[in-house]
Amino acid sequence: MTEQHKFDFCPWMYWGQATDEDRSAQEAHLAEVRDRIGLDAAGKVFISPLAAVYTDRLRMGDFCYIAAHAYVTDDVFMGRDCTVNPYAVVRGKVELGDAVRIGAHTSLLGFNHGTAPDRQVFRQPITSQGIRIGDDVWIGSNVVVLDGVTIGDHAVIGAGSVVTKDVPVWAMVAGNPARPLRDRRTPRSTAGEARPAHDEVLPTEDGVLSTVGGPRAGAGGDLEARLAEFAGRAREQAGQVLARCWTGERYVDRPGAEPTVRAWADAVEIADLLLGGPPPTPAREEIIAFLRDRQDPITGLVPEIGAPGSPEAADGGRPELEGISAYHILSVGYALDLLGTRFQHPIRAVSDLAPKDLIAMLDGLDWARGAWTSGSVVDAFGTGLYRNIADFGLSGENLETLYGWLLTRVRPTHGMWGEPDSKSGWLMVVNGFYRLTRGTFAQFGLPLPYPELAVDTVLTQARDPRYFGPDTGNACNVLDVIHPLWLLGRQTRHRRAEGEAWAREHLERALGGWQAEAGLSFALTVGSGATRTPGLQGTEMWLAIIWLLADYLGISDTLGYRPRGVHRPEPALHYPG
């Protein structure tokens, strides 16, 4: 795929990565489509110029797209957040609710030919009962849905299926003809229960094949039921959780706390996970304006409210690439992604640093005593590089410098950066490893060096009772173990059973932490104080941690949500490429 056609084949990237030139070209194409077919579209839609769109009527809600080589005709109505992926066919009378995902090479055929014996088939009259698809429906690749079918809300259609009959709400179906596998709210079969005689195909995130009935099935049992109950309760109470932290003017982490920029970003992440869109209050445009206007145009960094460089500050100072200003590259940048937009300015604090100065900066970090802080700087720098490359088309030269430094400084004795100390043990090294790898290796889809050694180091930290005893633990420490285990698990199964036992223990503990209409606190332990009071940061982090723990165990689909922001499991940008 050439850069020219990136959005045609990967249109989900358009709202976060399109340049002004890209947006102008798309607006011109949409104007042509409107003139030709009478398109009724919301403000934010994408139609690839490579798609064949010849409808009588086409209505598209916000954040809908039609990708390259899709074939769309007749009467098509799309709600909000609907996707027609490459080479899909949508013809006849077809009505989609909100959040309908249609995999590549799938055909929705809302018409039929007669079959009477008095004439050739192509001369038969055409009838059209239409296809109706509810909200939150996932249709895998190479599916065929025939005329007259209604697919209920929250259904999942397995890749390669042929759907000839109505599909109930919450049903997961697959096969030819498609038949029910289970209710999406019900756990997969446990070891002692009947399973299909052969593997059934279900869509994965990118619409390709996955299996039910293989080794992942039965991984959870009662734990899966608890996951489903937790996610349902969280979705039902998400509105109250957000409203509790809205002052009427600003978001705060918890009632009584000072307003922060991160609280706004956390609210966006929580709403996207649990509500499938922006927070109910305030309007999306107001949230976007608040977050984008915080950016310092000189450095590209986002300072805290009232800090130097912020709109409230009168001292004319500038934020620096450290602390919360560095973390805002992640939290604010990904929140803007989820809202369908991007920063106004490049991250100049990253792009203006010459390679030799980048090496000097990295060498100057205190890796011996502060591996976590050092790793967080690398995380922010890597994310700034991603923003500059993806959103503004700037050079990736410093990315190669950064990787060169990391690969020549990693410790071949334990697979990480920095060294343990007598006071905190491996805490700073492992926590720094999470931050560093999240913003570099994970974010750019590159393999880690020494994966088996790194697993050994993570599991050593995971057994430290100072951080993971019955009366200890917080979101950072659990995240800083499970993300590395999850990420390294893509390269090696070294000591997998130990990792899964740890993940199961901490998942069961985390599921008991939800407090009614308030969410989750940063610390696992019960008590008073800021870290033990439910808030937006604790809720946002634990929702992602619970997904990672569950996904490491192979049961994350039970949750019905998948992180798309700071903790997204997919690389944000494959490099090189």
Please list the active-site residues: 113
Q: Tokens 């919450």 appear where?
A: 170
Q: Tokens 């008991």 appear where?
A: 512
Cα separation, 11 vs 9, in Å, equals 6
3-state secondary structure at position 538? helix
Six token digits for residue 47: 């139609």
User: Dihedrals φ, ψ of 274, to 5°?
Assistant: -100, -30
Cα separation, 343 vs 382, in Å, equals 16
Cα separation, 506 vs 515, in Å, equals 17
Cα separation, 341 vs 370, in Å, equals 34
Query: Taking the CB of residue 395, how many other CB atoms lie within 10 A of it?
Result: 11
Cα separation, 503 vs 498, in Å, equals 9
Residue 292, CA distances (Å) to 24, 166, 343, 398 in order: 21, 45, 6, 25
Cα angle, residue 17 at apex, residues 14 and 23 outer, rounded to 5°: 60
3-state secondary structure at position 40? strand
How would you class 303 by CB atoms within 10 Å of its CB: exposed for 0-12, middle for 13-18, buried for 19 or more?
buried
Cα separation, 168 vs 519, in Å, equals 31
Six token digits for residue 39: 């398109």
Cα angle, residue 401 at apex, residues 398 and 405 outer, rounded to 5°: 140
Cβ-based neighbours of 359, under 8 Å, separated by 6 or more: 401, 405
3-state secondary structure at position 334? helix
3-state secondary structure at position 511? helix
Cβ-based neighbours of 529, under 8 Å, separated by 6 or more: none
Give the amino acid at 2: T
Rg over alpha carbons for the chain, rounded to the nearest Å, is 25
Q: What is the full DSSP assignment across 207-273?
A: S-EEEESSTTTTS-THHHHHHHHHHHHHHHHHHHHHHHTB-SS-BBSSTTSPB-HHHHHHHHHHHHH
C-alpha count within 13 angstroms, C-beta hemisphere, residue 167: 37
Cα separation, 282 vs 262, in Å, equals 16
Query: Taking the CB of residue 177, how many other CB atoms lie within 10 A of it?
Result: 12
